Amino acid sequence: MDNSVLLKVNLLKKTFVKKTGTLLKRKKTDVFAVNNVNFEIRKGEILGIIGESGCGKTTTARMVMRLMKETSGEVWFDGVDLCNLKESETNKIRKKMQMIFQDPYDTLNPGMRVVDILMEPLNAHEKNLEYQEKVKLVKEAIESIELKPAEDYMYRYPHQLSGGQRQRIAIARAVILKPSFIAADEPTSMLDVSVRAGILNLLLELRKKMGLTMMFITHDLSTASYMCDRIAVMYQGRIVEIGPTQKIIHAPSHPYTKALVSVVKDLNYFIKNRERLIFDGEVDATREAVGCPFVTRCPHQESVCHSKSPKIESLGNSHEVACHCHEDLLERTS
């Protein structure tokens, strides 16, 4: 494996079993949440994963963070395959990879004070430290997330903090151990628009200061374009397009990415004369598509799309897409 790659996900797959029917006519249906996902994150890079609800973004993150067992596949972190580790070894790895969760109202224990919350990672991984040293580290962590003075916030309970402050505390909890990798699962989606930018800038600054590598999950393309070096677009458990942010936004190749880009207002400000593509309805993840997973909604479908699942192909400049028709589409637009 290339030395500059921190995290490599190889053919990762997760299927859930859904039981339906009555006692005698029990049926089991597989739900394909994540389907053969591959990607790499280089050191110091932020990879954005975007996609609609239920496309498997969070499931992927949970598998990478070892909160959920994969059905098959490999997750290589820093040269170690996480999927074959024992529980105790996984816990050691967790010192180096931390997660920021979506809902700051849910991830902080309401019965614990901020100090106790931030001390939890230290108690788990730095057992030899004295209490006073831990308090000092906690103070530093609180100041590094721009809640000053730290003493004002240390002894508060989560319900005495605002949503933005809570998310900052959650971020502090993730960075207090100085990890090398952070998975952020829609860290701003539950926050007011007014505090979002603050949180995003904080993450960027922490990345600069600590050399963090990040996996940034979001459903908002404008957030992703602000944060990420590269973006992977997921649809129905597969990555349909992956590439540098500028490429994804200015030259999307997959029809789904095109549709996503076309409806984001902030982006349209820069890109003129773009027609808006809107798809209706929900998708059914229970069927494993024979052809392209996007075929039910795709405006450009051809016969091959129904019968053959597209392979991911390189377009150069580490821009890759999984679509049979991307060349035709390119011609059509130009």
Partner 1 sequence: MDKQKWKHYWRVLSSNNLGLFGVALLVIFLCIALFAPFIAPFDPTERVGSPFMKPNGVFLLGTNDIGQDIFSELLYGTRVSLLIGVIAALISIILGCLIGVIAGYFGGKVDSFLMRLVDLVLVIPFLPLMILLAAFIGPSFWNIVLVISLISWASPARVIRSQVLTLKTKGYVEAARSIGTGIGVILTRHILPGVIPIALSQFVLAASHSILIEASLSFLGLGDPFTKSWGTILYYAQARGAFLTDAWIWWVLPPGLLLTTLVIGFAFTGYSLEEILNPRLRKER
CB nearer partner 1, residue 94 or residue 254: 94
Interaction between residue 124 and partner 1 (CB under 8 A): yes
- β-partners of residue 100 are 184
Interaction between residue 316 and partner 1 (CB under 8 A): no
With contacts defined by CB under 8 A, name the span among 104-112, 202-210, 244-252, 311-319 that binds partner 1: 104-112
Taking residue 205's Cβ as centre, other Cβ atoms within 10 Å add up to 13
Interaction between residue 92 and partner 1 (CB under 8 A): yes
The candidate with the shortest Cα–Cα distance to 66, out of 53, 84, 78, 46, is: 84
Question: E strand or H helix at 132, and its extent?
Answer: helix 131-144
CA–CA distance, 184 with 189 (Å, rounded to integer): 11
With contacts defined by CB under 8 A, name the span among 19-27, 29-37, 106-114, 312-320 that binds partner 1: 106-114
Provide, rounded to whole angstroms, the least separation between the CB of residue 173 and partner 1: 7
CB nearer partner 1, residue 168 or residue 258: 168
Interaction between residue 120 and partner 1 (CB under 8 A): yes
- Indicate which single residue of 59, 98, 165, 218 sits in contact with partner 1 (rule: CB under 8 A): 98
With contacts defined by CB under 8 A, name the span among 117-125, 142-150, 230-238, 326-334 that binds partner 1: 117-125
CA–CA distance, 194 with 213 (Å, rounded to integer): 26
Taking residue 42's Cβ as centre, other Cβ atoms within 10 Å add up to 16
With contacts defined by CB under 8 A, name the span among 118-126, 221-229, 267-275, 305-313 that binds partner 1: 118-126
Residue numbers 150-179 binding partner 1 by CB under 8 A: 155, 157, 159, 170, 173
DSSP state of 82: G
CB nearer partner 1, residue 170 or residue 248: 170
Residue 196 has which token pair? 């979002």
With contacts defined by CB under 8 A, name the span among 121-129, 194-202, 222-230, 265-273 that binds partner 1: 121-129
Residue corresponding to tokens 């110091």: 44
Residues 190, 16 contacting (CB under 8 angstroms) = no
- Indicate which single residue of 12, 33, 34, 99 sits in contact with partner 1 (rule: CB under 8 A): 99
Residues 276, 270 contacting (CB under 8 angstroms) = no
- Indicate which single residue of 123, 286, 314, 333 sits in contact with partner 1 (rule: CB under 8 A): 123
- In the sheet that 5-20 helps form, which strands lie side by side, from edge to edge? 27-42, 5-20, 72-77, 80-81
- Indicate which single residue of 4, 29, 67, 133 sits in contact with partner 1 (rule: CB under 8 A): 67
CA–CA distance, 227 with 268 (Å, rounded to integer): 18
Pairing mode, strands 97-100 and 72-77:
unpaired
Residues lying near partner 1 in the complex (CB under 8 A): 65, 67, 90-92, 94-95, 98-99, 101, 103, 106-112, 120-121, 123-125, 155, 157, 159, 170, 173
